[in-house]
Amino acid sequence: MEKHKVVVCDHIHEAGLEMLKNDEAIDYVFAADIDKTELLTVIEDAEVVITRSSTDVDEKFISHAKNMKAIVRAGVGVDNVDIDGCSKEGIIVMNVPTANTIAAVELTMTHMLSCMRMFPYSHDHLKNQRIWKREKWYGHELKGKKLGIIGFGNIGSRVGIRSKAFEMDVLAYDPYISASKATDLGIDFTTNFDDILACDIITIHTPKNSETIDIINSEEIAKMKDGVVLVNCARGGLYNEDALYDGLTSGKIRFAGIDVFIKEPATSHKLLDLENIVVSPHLGANTFESQYNIGTQAAEQAINAAKGIAFPNAFNLPIDESKIPAFVKPFLEMGQRVGFISAQMNKSSIKSIKVSGRGDIASYVDSLATFVTVGSLVESSGDAINYVNADFVAKERNIEIKTESLADSAVYKNLITIKLTTEKGVIEISATIFDDDVQRIVDINGFALDVALKGNMILFKNTDVPGVIGQVGSTLASRNVNISDFRLGRNSKDEALAVILVDSDVCEKTLKELASLEACIEVYYAKI
């Protein structure tokens, strides 16, 4: 039995390693303790790798990953993974987003309570300095305080639930969720970021990207209440560290709880010099339970990816299949098939691909465009094109990808149209799926037709004069090509388009004979 090589680049829980060892289809290599330069040689024939923060998946790493299908980041953050670089090489990047959720939630609550009651400092006073001075450690209660949560995903929402249990007033801000996600939990929701800045305590739970870096800066801090408390157990750099330092120094920020820093380890950071900050060394995932979850979930994802079964939590797949209606998937497949035959019919350098949708499918034209692009480029790219790198390949070839959502069709419940423009001309095909799940072409370049999307297909465009069908039939019969279906469309320019499905392949000589018929305008051929 052929085995799939999976390399573990960093330390994960032993339970995850056991899963890899015990799967007969997996050739498991533990490489967490070897030099990172040596690691580059080890991964050259690997299909999947598991990494953590200690391994940078950068240009050098990717260039050595010659046989790589997928990379599993055992954790939430993918700051150390060049996702665009992986996408260009067709490597799927996955993470384990929920394994340490509870650990991060509980650490946030720990920091919040520590800031309000200054427990780390009172502990040090008694434990290390042996001073009993109760009057020095008057804190504040969580009850009745207003908590602002920036980012209301898996972690932020659970922080909200627990904070409600402390009888806090909770306000959530997240431009990417429905307000009902918060309000259904009895939590207020706002679309005005200034409402968050007016809270007594603010905690952040967003990914780190161009939109969220420095989301709290000196300007935002100036709008906050005097004596505000800030907590960050998410990613370093979401709060501007210089602005945070100034706010803590001035007293505008009464206390801060920080688990993450821009540069780690942060053993000499100036924030550590302050007496109104509680810090921890990036412990968001540091529970035995979360480490077990991370290790086993990462191993399971690596096994599934290596076998080609599934790619859960992928960052660079065109769609999340768990979030699309069942009716969409057949349209994605059909779009790829239409792109495939369109490219065959007009073999030339592609200039643009336009994908339009009518009906409910119009909401999914962006995902559809990826599948159409793969179908359109597979003839010229072969295995070099896939769902992950399709957009990158198109950009490299200066192919413009356009999408369009149109008004509902008066005839079809859902309709897609693919317009392929090449140096030779334009092919525009509309297709739909009927209730019996049959994929049908219903229009080609303005000729209304009804053709099954399968088999060997000849498109014969001609002037609309008598005798053409007979001539076409005779030509094919002389070449021993049997016709299985013959569909005809006409336009207002006295032109006709025949779509002829045949039982066998058609050679170039036969196509030239068809093209030589007096009434012929052009002939195309495709097979699927």
The CATH number covering residue 146 comes to 3.40.50.720
SS3 state of residue 75: coil
Same domain, 466 and 429: yes
Residue 312 lies in a domain: no
Q: What proportion of the chain, given as a percentage, has pLDDT over 90? A: 76
Higher pLDDT, 239 or 350: 239
Question: What pLDDT, on a 0 to 100 scale, did the predictor assign at position 72?
Answer: 97
Same domain, 201 and 235: yes
- Least confident range from 43-47, 371-375, 381-385: namely 381-385
Amino acid letter for position 15:
A
Reported confidence tier of residue 293, pLDDT bands at 50, 70, 90: very high
Same domain, 269 and 359: no
Residue 314 lies in a domain: no
Reported confidence tier of residue 87, pLDDT bands at 50, 70, 90: confident
Q: What is the pLDDT of residues 144-193, one digit of tens each?
A: 999 999 999 889 999 999 999 999 999 999 987 778 889 999 999 999 99
Q: Give the chain's mean pLDDT.
A: 92
Same domain, 361 and 508: yes
Q: What is the pLDDT of residues 316-375, one digit of tens each?
A: 877 766 667 878 888 998 998 899 899 988 878 899 999 999 999 999 999 999 999 988
Same domain, 237 and 303: no
Q: In this structure, what DSSP letter does residue 138 have?
A: -
130-151 per-residue burial string, b: 16 or more CB within 10 A, e: under 16? eeeeeeeeeebebeebbbbbbb
Count up the domains in the chain and report the number: 3
Find residue 188's DSSP bridge partners: 171
Token duo for residue 296: 């086993």
Q: Assess whether pLDDT exceeds 90 at residue 383.
A: no
Question: What pLDDT, on a 0 to 100 scale, did the predictor assign at position 384?
Answer: 62
Question: What pLDDT, on a 0 to 100 scale, did the predictor assign at position 321?
Answer: 62
Question: What pLDDT, on a 0 to 100 scale, did the predictor assign at position 84?
Answer: 85
Q: In this structure, what DSSP letter does residue 504 have?
A: S
Report the pLDDT averaged over residues 94-106. 92
Ramachandran quadrant class, 298 (left: phi over 0; alpha: psi -120 to 50; beta: rest): alpha
Residue 315 lies in a domain: no
Q: Assess whether pLDDT exceeds 60 at residue 403.
A: yes
Q: What share of the chain is helix, strand, coil (3-state, %, to 5)?
A: 35, 25, 40
Residue 340 lies in a domain: yes
Q: Return the CATH number at 492.
A: 3.30.1330.90
Based on DSSP, count helices (H) and strands (E) in the chain, helices before strands.
17, 22
Which range of residues forms the domain containing residue 16? 4-99+290-307
- Nearest Cα neighbor of 306 from 514, 42, 50, 77 is 50
For residues 9 and 33, is the Cβ–Cβ distance under 8 A?
Answer: no
Residue 334 lies in a domain: yes
Residue 263 lies in a domain: yes
Residue 316 lies in a domain: no
For residues 453 and 342, is the Cβ–Cβ distance under 8 A?
Answer: no
- DSSP strand pairing (188-190 vs 456-463): unpaired
Active-site amino acid positions: 235, 264, 282
Question: What pLDDT, on a 0 to 100 scale, did the predictor assign at position 307?
Answer: 87
Higher pLDDT, 111 or 527: 111
Higher pLDDT, 528 or 68: 68
Same domain, 95 and 189: no
Q: What proportion of the chain, given as a percentage, has pLDDT over 70? A: 98
Reported confidence tier of residue 278, pLDDT bands at 50, 70, 90: very high
For residues 48 and 71, is the Cβ–Cβ distance under 8 A?
Answer: yes
- CB burial of residue 214 (10 Å; 0-12, 13-18, 19+): middle
Question: Model pTM?
Answer: 0.65
Report the pLDDT averaged over residues 387-404. 87
| All residues at 6 or more sequence positions from 333 whose CB lies less than 8 Å from its CB, including other chains | 371, 439
Reported confidence tier of residue 34, pLDDT bands at 50, 70, 90: very high
For residues 342 and 351, is the Cβ–Cβ distance under 8 A?
Answer: no
Amino acid letter for position 421:
T
Q: Assess whether pLDDT exceeds 60 at residue 216.
A: yes
Same domain, 86 and 117: no
Q: Assess whether pLDDT exceeds 70 at residue 79.
A: yes
Same domain, 464 and 345: yes
Q: What is the pLDDT of residues 435-470, one digit of tens each?
A: 767 889 999 999 999 998 888 999 999 999 999 999
Same domain, 25 and 126: no
Contacts of 160-163 spanning 24+ positions with Cβ under 8 A: 160/185, 160/187, 161/185, 162/105, 162/109, 163/109, 163/112
Same domain, 157 and 294: no
Same domain, 29 and 55: yes
Residue 496 lies in a domain: yes
Question: What pLDDT, on a 0 to 100 scale, did the predictor assign at position 346?
Answer: 80
Same domain, 357 and 340: yes
Distances (CA, A) of 302 to 8, 75, 98, 218, 430: 10, 13, 16, 43, 39
